[in-house]
Amino acid sequence: MFYGKIYVTLKKGVLDPQGSTVQRSLHALGYSNVAEVRIGKFMEVKLDSSSREEAARQLDEMCRRLLANPVIEDYTFEVTEV
Amino acid sequence: MFYGKIYVTLKKGVLDPQGSTVQRSLHALGYSNVAEVRIGKFMEVKLDSSSREEAARQLDEMCRRLLANPVIEDYTFEVTEV
């Protein structure tokens, strides 16, 4: 069994209204030293696979096909055996 | 300037309907070997701070006060100087 950690973030230059909202809330709570907030998705995927390479290949494919929007998002992932 | 990476995940045992939906979609795409999917939030926070320890202290406070719901979510974070 393998365990994938996937990080999906907005590409640089893509507006992040959610991040701006959180930043304003942090400023309102007194954290005026917060310069920027960007919000992304963190996904944990457990999958059965013949090898770590095969698990990584499948995770990459899952990101390209479903989990990340290639137009506005970047993704990275890590795979460990559990 | 410091850069915080914050990971907010649902506590074990808390139902994850979003994760189940993604898992069903992955199965429909042919990835029947996916055993579990959990979805969380990944936040990047840039903040000006007097020290790395002070930045960490503030990030922890931000998580407890705003960024994570202590009833159903856990959080971890990393701080690096940029």
Domains and CATH numbers, chain B: 2-81 (3.30.1280.10)
Q: Which of B5, B18, B20, B46 to mutate to test the interface with A (most CBs of A within 10 A)?
A: B46
Q: CB distance B36–A45 less than 8 Å? A: yes
The confidence score (pLDDT) of residue B44 equals: 97
DSSP-derived 3-state class of residue A63:
helix
How far is Cα A58 from Cα A56, in angstroms, rounded to an integer?
5
The confidence score (pLDDT) of residue B2 equals: 97
The confidence score (pLDDT) of residue B24 equals: 98
Which residues from chain A sit within 8 angstroms of residue B26, using beta carbons? 45, 62, 66
Cβ-based interface (< 8 Å): residues of B facing A: 1, 7-9, 19, 22, 25-26, 29, 31, 33-49, 58, 62, 65-67
Is the entire prediction scored with pTM above 0.80? yes
Pair B43, B26: CB distance under 8 Å: no
The confidence score (pLDDT) of residue B49 equals: 96
The confidence score (pLDDT) of residue B15 equals: 96
Task: pLDDT band for A34, please (50, 70, 90 cuts).
Answer: very high
Instruction: Give the mean pLDDT of A7-14.
Output: 96
The confidence score (pLDDT) of residue A33 equals: 97
Q: CB distance A26–B66 less than 8 Å? A: yes
Instruction: Give the mean pLDDT of A57-64.
Output: 98
Residues of chain B with pLDDT under 50: none
Task: pLDDT band for A78, please (50, 70, 90 cuts).
Answer: very high
CA angle B37, A42, B53 (to 5 degrees): 140
Find, among A34, A43, A38, the residue nearest to A76 by Cα. Answer: A43
B5 bridge partner residues: B44, B78
Residue labelled with tokens 């705003």 = B66
Taking the mean position of all CA atoms in its chain, how far away is CA A51? 23
